[in-house]
Structure 1
């Protein structure tokens, strides 16, 4: 068996350097050690687009059933309970089929008015002379949209965002969830569990009611309702995705467009390019930088054998900047030819983001309103601060001022 060595490349996904800027180390990994091994943490990592895309699709080799972060996967135990993102087929297929019925194109489009009103309400509340784009806007409206869809009472909606932030936060060097993160997870689970039980007695047109009324195929083919625990797990997953993905994508947008004013001007000149801009933001600065899998068998790539049982990082954020896949990949170009390669910003294969269509629609609506509200703006770079989070990358603070 060939073992991987990386004497000069140090990839630490829990370091301050990684949180601040992972792209330089990604570049070296793709060039020097496309199958990277971490002596410190005992995991492998794939960084090239071809390898990452193939691994996303190969669930028979790279399993999600042991969890989706390093702390979970290295426990080497199949998750007894968990969300759909921590399942392999056939369980994943059955759960995905159920949720696909909830996130149909028609259902997503029916939420456009909700998204638009939420975006406009939160923008109207900020002071254009100076506000934090993330804390005052992009962190607020996406979780409002998702929790309204779930039927969460208005006073509790922003609490979901606070719980998710605690769940995902990692101090430099921290692999396992902190005590505050564990408490946030318990509090969030208890909250949704109680909400599900309450909703059973007062069904409405929200997502939780839809899941309560649904049936799923069990082992053996019998159709049965979801349990309260299963619905709670769905609710936590959707609440988390609703709180993080668009928040980080739009925070990135405020920064990247300020750094590339010519691209912002292209949107001002032609708003039909907004969907293209969303795709390019997803490629260049993916909110989800990586996913962790467990190798189910020995697999050899580039002369390196990944042993069965080892955690494997699939670095979508690196793959989306691979020059073997994309032309001039570090350049932000909203008119980029999207057929160059598969954009992995929302994952790929069976675990591609379930709410991708909703996230895209929210991002398009938000960019449209940003063009109206802040056609010219400047960023206070001294006040910008990145998040320190498990798997998620982006900004926690982006102070901006709308220019006259």
Structure 2
């Protein structure tokens, strides 16, 4: 009897519909996985992924954020913080960190709550789609309001994000419509930057215009318009997609584990722990792509310099060497067992993690009141097919009480 060789295809229907059995086999059979079809390597064990996230000198972000970009071997032309290595990354990150301090995030609570109330008030109290009627809308309102996008343009940003991230089965490169969506988004932000240079306001883009940074050569200068547009495009996308997918995952997981929904309803102090478990169990961002800067020798395999390397955090968070019963969804699990990689790790850990936790926490609290008991219409659930992202595009529910 022979066993089939494990195949990891991040552009396949099997991946979009749930890659966890593939991850298990990769951890056991091919901890340094090589895809001959796409010419990339992948790390899946928690120890290896966490170490790689920390080692930016070996696993570089400067060549882009996905396989299509990294495999060109050219450094990313757009100066987004996600595609920078130190020292440039350190300088840029320090600017944006000022926007996401605990105090600054706490000050957003009322605004976030108002947006969630606004969209929850518009759904059918008997039954609705948790994603397409609710969680798709409020996260982009929050992050674009922070950036300074006018209200009438905020949901258009969401549509541009969805189009740029969408991938059909087997599709690696961004589609022409996705490229156009990215260009339209970038131009919208660039126009907004021009307006704020003339008339600054109390928003993030105005703050970035006023900021000064120290360049690699020691020169102190202001950010260029292209750099600010890159910041805004990245923050708008990440700030919208992460929360949308986490709230959708919550509706699915608590429908499968109604006893935990009842526990959460009885003790709202457990909401932060529930969010961490959702991030561990099914994080929206399943992997990050880096470029090897030297030959890497690991588990009897050599990753040559100059190759794309997938750091599969979604697998690392299900590693039994790191977590007890990792395939069990448990909001009361011991979270000190291992580092949760759901928001990344190291210098590129998610900028807006605190904001995402705040938004998800308020949304879960309000959903517990709105639908203390519910059931999912499983036949009508649909998953997304997106670059780097997993999650649900449709989760219709019937409210029982």
TM over 0.5: yes
In 1, the alpha carbon distance for the partners of 2:54 and 2:382 equals 34
Other-structure match for 2:21? 24
Q: CA deviation at 1:256?
A: 0.4
Pairing 1:179–2:176 present: yes
In 1, the alpha carbon distance for the partners of 2:349 and 2:215 equals 23
Q: CA deviation at 1:81?
A: 2.4
Pairing 1:157–2:154 present: yes
Pairing 1:340–2:346 present: no
Q: CA deviation at 1:301?
A: 0.6
Other-structure match for 1:241? 238
Paired residue secondary structure (2:184): helix
Which residue of 323, 340, 363 maps to 1:366?
A: 363
Other-structure match for 2:208? 211
Question: What are the residue-to-residue correspondences of 1:119-134 with 2, within 5 Å?
Answer: 119-134=116-131
Question: What are the residue-to-residue correspondences of 1:191-206 with 2, within 5 Å?
Answer: 191-206=188-203
Which residue of 262, 277, 282 maps to 2:279?
A: 282
RMSD value over aligned CA atoms? Answer: 0.9
Other-structure match for 2:319? 322
In 2, the alpha carbon distance for the partners of 1:288 and 1:303 equals 28
Paired residue secondary structure (2:336): helix
Question: What are the residue-to-residue correspondences of 1:265-276 with 2, within 5 Å?
Answer: 265-276=262-273
Q: CA deviation at 1:78?
A: 1.1
Other-structure match for 2:42? 45
Deviations 1:355-402 (A, max 9, x none): 000001111111111111111111110110000000011000011121
In 2, the alpha carbon distance for the partners of 1:210 and 1:383 equals 44
In 2, the alpha carbon distance for the partners of 1:289 and 1:82 equals 23
Which residue of 107, 112, 131 maps to 1:110?
A: 107
Paired residue secondary structure (1:340): coil
Q: Which runs of 5+ in 2 are unaligned?
A: none
In 2, the alpha carbon distance for the partners of 1:153 and 1:384 equals 33
In 2, the alpha carbon distance for the partners of 1:267 and 1:79 equals 44
Q: CA deviation at 1:130?
A: 2.1
What's the TM-score, normalizing by structure 1?
0.98
In 2, the alpha carbon distance for the partners of 1:156 and 1:257 equals 33
In 1, the alpha carbon distance for the partners of 2:220 and 2:101 equals 21
Paired residue secondary structure (1:205): coil
Q: CA deviation at 1:131?
A: 1.3
Paired residue secondary structure (2:310): strand
Number of corresponding residues: 399
* Residues 160, 243 of structure 1: 8 Å contact kept: no
In 1, the alpha carbon distance for the partners of 2:219 and 2:107 equals 32
Other-structure match for 1:137? 134
Pairing 1:81–2:112 present: no
Q: Which runs of 5+ in 1 are unaligned?
A: 1-5
Deviations 1:246-303 (A, max 9, x none): 0001100000000011111110111100000000000000010000000000001100
Q: CA deviation at 1:7?
A: 6.1
Which residue of 303, 306, 318 maps to 2:303?
A: 306
Paired residue secondary structure (1:338): coil
Paired residue secondary structure (2:398): strand
Deviations 1:118-175 (A, max 9, x none): 1111100100222111011111000000111111111110111110111110000000
